[in-house]
Amino acid sequence: KRSRRGQTGKQGENSAKIRKTEVDTIKEPTIATLELTDGTLFSGYSFGANKSMAGEVVFNTGMVGYPEALTDPSYAGQILVLTFPLIGNYGVPSDDIDEIGLSKNFESSKIHIKGLVVATYTSDHSHWASQRSLGTWLREHGVPAIYGVDTRAITKVIRESGAVLGKINYPDDQIDFYNPNITNLVSEVSTKEVKVYGEGQRPRILVYDMGIKNNIIRYLVQVNKVCCIVVPFEYPLEENPEKIEYEGLFLSNGPGDPAMCTTTIASVNWAISRPKEEIKPIFGICLGNQILSLASGAKTFKMKYGNRGANQPAIDLRTGRCYITPQNHGYAVDQKALKADWKPLFLNANDFTNEGIIHTTKPFFSAQFHPEAAGGPMDTAFLF
């Protein structure tokens, strides 16, 4: 067998053998189906784990970034449809850990989606950092995936009918539908213990982990040079049982309905209600934007189909400038319900939903999108 260009000897031969084995596997794939609650069936072929799974079916419009998307805890409970027609051609990178103990290439320690649906899949990957195919990686994590499906048709169903439940079925493994929105998904992805990153750096930021992405912590610690004390989402801030000293609060991204995070909301409400001399700055991202809104007395609502992708336009209402932002959320803030002293900070240019809020006199603000990118443009990294 020939070696890859740039590879010689046994390494190149082994790489070629691995790729040939994966291609041969795909030639006789297992048939699988995506079934929606309205009875619609989409037939395809398996390239992940041959395991039936159910969840909420959502779509992502990004062209690249599937390793980051699949490991984003905000996708917990969801079957992800990728609208870009060809997936898998750059493979999956290594599991290397960086100098602060986080995965270099992924947004968490595991894949969080319930299943993956793509139009065309290739196991013949080519990228200097690639270590294995997407299919191999999915099988390692026990996540089902199907290809050969009309993803445009699925996306149209979701756009027209709204959020829909579905399940990936295999002939010998039939399961029932599952609605993740009635579950407190944050409790499944939040840390169970206090963790510290950037020990010795100042200021010290208390970070509520509701499903935080690695690149958010990395940006705070390595770019902002702050110390992050990451706590579980139910950490009672008023009691502060760990006696944590901190100079600011950060509210992370996360999955599901923000209204289920009652303890977090109560803690943030306590923080924003402190006397002037005890006020500490607060910054929130994604679910953090919704939590801050609920804590201030506003409301949130479930969107028709959400915004997920790397190309959502958000208008800065202070300047009128429009930024292209990465997003992943199915709930939004009802900005008409914002209380006095709060105002919208960003607005989505497509559907005019809220993309951030800010207090008019106190140092509290948040963004619905992801300024840390991973993956996506970093045009709004200045928010850090």
Q: Report the pLDDT averaged over residues 344-364.
A: 98
- CATH no. for residue 157? 3.50.30.20
Q: What's the domain range around 316?
A: 185-383
Q: What is the dihedral of CA 330, 336, 342, 346, to 10 degrees?
A: 50
Given the DSSP bridges, would you call strands 227-232 and 204-209 parallel, antiparallel or unpaired? Answer: parallel
End position of a domain, from candidates 142, 169, 196:
169
Mean pLDDT taken over the chain = 93
Do 235 and 244 contact (CB within 8 A), yes or no?
no
> Is 358:274 a contact under the CB 8 Å cutoff?
no
18 within some domain: no
Last residue of a domain, one of 110, 136, 169: 169
Residue 311 shares a structural domain with residue 164? no
Query: What is the identity of the amino acid at 24?
Result: D
Q: Which of 128, 145, 169 is the last residue of a domain?
A: 169
DSSP state of 271: H
Q: Do 137 and 38 share a structural domain?
A: yes
286 included as an active-site residue? yes
Q: Which residue in 107, 227, 286, 329 is the catalytic one? A: 286
Whether 372 is catalytic is yes
pLDDT at 288: 99
Do 109 and 247 fall into the same domain?
no
Same domain as 202, residue 161: no
pTM of structure: 0.92
Q: Which CATH number belongs to the domain containing residue 376 in this structure?
A: 3.40.50.880
**pLDDT for position 317:** 98
Does the structure show a pLDDT above 70 at 58? yes
261 is catalytic: no
User: pLDDT of 243-270, one tens digit each?
Assistant: 999 999 999 999 999 999 999 999 999 9
* 97 within domain boundaries: yes
Q: What is the pLDDT of residue 28?
A: 75
